[in-house]
């Protein structure tokens, strides 16, 4: 057996590796960790945790990089938004957090040996994924947040809007699941 393979097999059999990297954590542990990270985020940045709002900034930075101007766009009209745009991509705390989430999810998937590239089964699957992604993105922007910003951060900061978002998201998930099964499965 090759030395690298032998080392990797030894690591995979290690109980610490199995506990922290291979086996999934419980829902309670995940909820506690999310709560702790929400508190840390609020304390450090002064803003509740949000994910989808950062994507609007990313789109604007890309648009500016190819020569576009966002000067007259209402969304970026406030002084705070202008300061964010001027500070740049790598000086934005939300960008760093999102990049960390993406890198962390990839690393966790790789460490648990769960990374797979799946074959696309049909054109229906592409249509469903595209339509679902567009609707989720649109919904996140008109709700001023995704499930993290509008739901989790809303509820944890004792906002009624978080609970309204939870009810609407539940209803949407039920309807979406029924449509998925009926038309795309």
Residue 11: pLDDT over 80: no
Read off the pTM: 0.71
Summarised one tens digit per residue, pLDDT across range 122-169 is 888 888 889 888 988 888 878 777 777 788 778 877 889 889 988 988
The percentage of residues in the chain with a pLDDT greater than 90, rounded to a whole number, is 16
Q: Which residue has the tokens 């001027």?
A: 86
Spatial distance between the Cα atoms of 137 and 122, rounded to a whole number of angstroms? 23
Q: At what angle do helices 27-45 and 93-111 cross, to 10 degrees?
A: 160
pLDDT band, residue 23 (cuts 50/70/90): confident
Spatial distance between the Cα atoms of 183 and 31, rounded to a whole number of angstroms? 34
């Amino acid at each position: 057996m090759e030395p690298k393979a032998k080392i990797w097999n030894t690591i995979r059999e290690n109980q610490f590796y199995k506990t922290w990297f291979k086996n999934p954590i419980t829902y309670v542990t995940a909820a506690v960790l999310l709560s702790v990270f929400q508190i840390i985020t609020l304390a450090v940045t002064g803003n509740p945790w949000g994910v989808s709002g950062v994507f609007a900034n990313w789109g604007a930075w890309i648009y500016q990089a190819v020569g576009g101007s966002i000067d007259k766009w209402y969304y970026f009209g406030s002084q705070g938004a202008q300061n964010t745009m001027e500070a740049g991509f790598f000086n934005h705390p939300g960008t760093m957090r999102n990049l960390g989430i993406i890198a962390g999810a990839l690393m966790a998937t790789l460490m648990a040996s769960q990374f797979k590239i799946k074959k696309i089964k049909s054109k229906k699957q592409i249509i469903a994924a595209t339509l679902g992604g567009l609707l989720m993105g649109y919904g996140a922007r008109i709700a001023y947040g995704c499930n993290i910003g509008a739901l989790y951060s809303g509820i944890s900061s004792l906002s009624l809007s978080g609970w309204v978002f939870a009810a609407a998201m539940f209803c949407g998930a039920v309807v979406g699941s029924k449509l998925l099964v009926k038309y795309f499965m």
